[in-house]
Structure 1
Amino acid sequence: MFQLGKTIVSEDIIEKDFVCNLSACGGACCVDGDAGAPLEEEEAKILEDIYPKIKPFLRKEGIAVIEKEGVWIKNEWGEIETPLINNADCAYVIFDEKNKTLCGIEEAYNSGEIDWKKPVSCHLYPIRVKDYSEFSAVNYHKWEICDDACTLGKELQVPVYKFVKQALVRKFGQNWYDELEKVAAKHLE
């Protein structure tokens, strides 16, 4: 672990390799698990505002859950997250013609309907950020459904932090990321 500004960062994000391999997993991270995507408070407000523009991109099952439970929910620990369809799929999940998982929010973004890509927690994956009062912990989340992404990352020699560069800059800023690159270069010497 090392400190970077007000973050404590796991060395795994430098040492481990990762490149999403949707053709291998089909987007399982959006349909497996027992919780929705973590949301920041500002993101919950954004979802409320843009839901009408996202709705045409969603499946009827997702729309039904969202209209019953809301565009976001609070879990048993009081944390904000996306609702789930039958305790599995994220309510914003859609499928392409090959049954590959896509994000309805991101599809609305890609179509120019909205200017917000998706929740930063999804954009950052496989990095998970846990905010504490004095700092944020930045960790690599190892999940067996992403083994193919680890294999592809190793083959292409892409460390986790480079794979999620855009999301890290979005979350922490360009200066933070520039410092991370310096730490990574020194660490890998």
Structure 2
Amino acid sequence: MFQLGKTIVSEAIIEKDFMCNLSACKGACCIDGDAGAPLDPEEAEILKTIYPKVKPFLRKEGIAAIEAQGVYVTSEDGDLETPLINDADCAYVIFDKKKVALCAIEEAYNQGAITWKKPVSCHLYPVRVQEYSEFSAVNYHKWDICDDACTLGAALQIPVYKFVKEALIRKFGEDWYSELETIANKL
């Protein structure tokens, strides 16, 4: 671990390799697990605003889940998350012709319907950020459904921090990322 501004960063994001391999995993991170995508309070408000523009991109099951539970939910721990369909798929998940899970929010963004890409927690994956009162912990999350992504990342020699560069800049800024690159080059 090392400190970078008000973050404590796991060296694993520099040492581990990663490149999503959707042809292998089919977007399992959006349909496996026991909770929705973590949301910041500001993101929950954004979802309220953009939902009418995202709704046409959603599956009927997603619409039903969102209209029953809300555009976001609060977990038992008080965390904000995207709602789930039958305690499985993220309510915002859609599928392409090859049955690969995609994000309806991101699809709306890609088609110019909205200007917000998707929750930063999704954009950052496999990096997870835990907020504390004095700092943010930036960690690599190892999940067996991403083994193919680790294999592909290793073959292409793409470290995690480079794979999620855009998302890290979105979360922490250009200067923070530049400092991260400097540290990575020294290691």
* TM-score for both structures, normalised by structure 2: 1.00
Whole-angstrom distance in 2 between the partners of 1:20 and 1:98:
16
| Residue 132 (structure 1) aligned with residue 132 (structure 2) | yes
**Aligned pair 1:152/2:146, yes or no?**
no
> Equivalents in 1 of 2:33, 2:83: separation in Å?
12
Measured against aligned partners, the alpha-carbon deviations of 1:53-98 in whole angstroms (never above 9, x if no partner) come to: 0000000000001001100000000000000001000000000111
- Deviation by residue 1:87-124 (Cα, 9 ceiling, x = unmatched): 00000000011111010000000000000000000000
Partner of 2:12: 12
SS in 2 for 1:166: helix
Aligned twin of 1:78 = 78
Counterpart mapping for 1:18-57 below 5 A: 18-57=18-57
- Cα distance, 1:23 vs structure 2: 0.3
**Letter in structure 1 aligned against 2:42:** E
Find the counterpart in structure 2 of residue 162 from structure 1: 162
What is the CA–CA distance in structure 1 between the aligned matches of 2:76 and 2:184, rounded to whole Å? Answer: 37
Provide runs of 4+ in structure 1 moved above 3 Å: none
Give 1:96-111 correspondences, 5 Å limit: 96-111=96-111
Q: How many residues align?
A: 187
The answer as to 2:45 corresponding to 1:68 is: no
Determine helix, strand or coil for the equivalent of 1:102: strand
Q: CA deviation at 1:149?
A: 0.2
C-alpha distance in structure 1 between counterparts of 2:20 and 2:54, whole Å: 24
SS of 2:38 mapped into structure 1? coil
- For structure 2, the 5+ residue unaligned runs are none
Structure 2 CA distance for aligned equivalents of residues 97 and 27 of structure 1: 13
Q: Secondary structure at the match of 1:77?
A: coil
> Which segments of 5 or more consecutive residues in structure 1 lack a partner in the other structure?
none
- Output the CA distance in 1 between the equivalents of 2:177 and 2:98: 36
Q: Distance in 1 between matches of 2:136 and 2:38?
A: 15
**Matches of 1:119 and 1:168, distance apart in 2:** 13
Superposition CA RMSD, Å: 0.3
Separation in 2, partners of 1:67, 1:170:
29
The one-letter code of the counterpart of 2:155 is E
Cα distance per residue 1:117-169 (max 9 Å; x no partner): 00000000000000000000000000000000000000000000000000000
